[in-house]
Amino acid sequence: MKNKILQLILLWICLALTSIAQEQEQESKPVDKPVRSPFEGGMLIDNQTGVIPVKNTLEMLIQHRFGSMENGISDFFGIYAPGANLRLGLNYSLLDKLMVGYGLTKKNMYSDFQAKYALLQQTRSGRIPVAVTLYGNMAIDGRSEEVFGVNYKFTNRFSYFGQVIVARKFTEWLSIQTQGSFTHYNSIEEQTDHDKIGVGISGRIKFAPQSSFVFQYDHPFSVGGKSESEPNLGFGYEASTSTHIFQIFVSNAQGILPQDNYMFNQNDFMEGELMFGFTITRLWGF
């Protein structure tokens, strides 16, 4: 009897020691967290990035595009030229991986509703080597009914944009992403396609704790073969703090909504048809 009791006590001690060892091993094992700040914010010139602010963060965007700088110093390289475009937007992170938002753009008085979801996040250990993010929006053209012709329906105002973003932070100073997209307009001029597909590349080169060089290149492809759009090239400077991000850049696309740029951009950067622009981002945590 004593031997059985002794055996049970020894068995209990062994199980307890094993459990403690497993707990200590789990505690000492590092948590595989997402990489820090692959990009400073959710926008990079005209493109979305894979960054989504943490849950319960409100993000305000002011996106501005000046007029063409083709007249040189006479209108201060487009800053005082007509044709400026502006978008005001508000985004809210419902979850750490899900953001929704609304924006209003001066050109065509677009009202856009958008969502962005982080499907995969690059991890610090390298177990997941890239981040994969899904982005989509629906915009409503706010111009008068006469713009859409005699067979007007409210759905003629709708346009849609969907994008897959694959990004990787290579080093503390270099982050690159590629994006593939699809654009659709319900109502379009007869000589223009309803659909466009596009590919692009964007990046950030950080040269100081709060300063980076940013760039983008987007190339649209016609689906129906009726019309061609010009690629969108942009490059500029980005400054960031914990709650503010400021970008000033040069780009050849006058639109701000991505479907507008992919579908209608006719400015050729090789001909110097460029515009200054800036984006201001402000974050609030709740």
Return the structure tokens found at 242. 């914990």
Q: What is the CA radius of gyration of the chain?
A: 25
191-204: average pLDDT: 91
Lowest mean pLDDT among 27-31, 75-79, 172-176, 236-240: 27-31
Q: Is the pLDDT of residue 20 over 60?
A: no
Give the DSSP H/E element, type plus range, for residue 22.
helix 2-28
Q: Is 103 exposed, middle or buried (0-12, 13-18, 19+ CB in 10 A)?
A: buried
196-200: average pLDDT: 95
Q: Is the pLDDT of residue 2 over 50?
A: no
Q: What is the pLDDT of residue 142?
A: 94
- Local structure of 71: helix, strand or coil: coil
Q: Is 47 exposed, middle or buried (0-12, 13-18, 19+ CB in 10 A)?
A: buried
46-68: average pLDDT: 95
Residue with the larger pLDDT of the pair 9 and 265 = 265
Average pLDDT, the chain: 89
Return the structure tokens found at 146. 């006469």
70-77: average pLDDT: 85
Residue 82's pLDDT band, with cuts at 50, 70 and 90, is: confident
Closest Cα partner for 144 from 159, 129, 154, 132?
154
- Local structure of 241: helix, strand or coil: coil
Residue 6's pLDDT band, with cuts at 50, 70 and 90, is: very low
Return the structure tokens found at 171. 């080093």
pLDDT tens figures, 86-141: 999 999 999 999 999 999 999 999 999 999 999 999 999 989 999 999 999 999 99
Q: Is the pLDDT of residue 227 over 90?
A: no
Q: Is 205 exposed, middle or buried (0-12, 13-18, 19+ CB in 10 A)?
A: middle
Q: Is the pLDDT of residue 162 over 50?
A: yes
Q: What is the pLDDT of residue 18?
A: 58
Q: Is the pLDDT of residue 21 over 60?
A: no
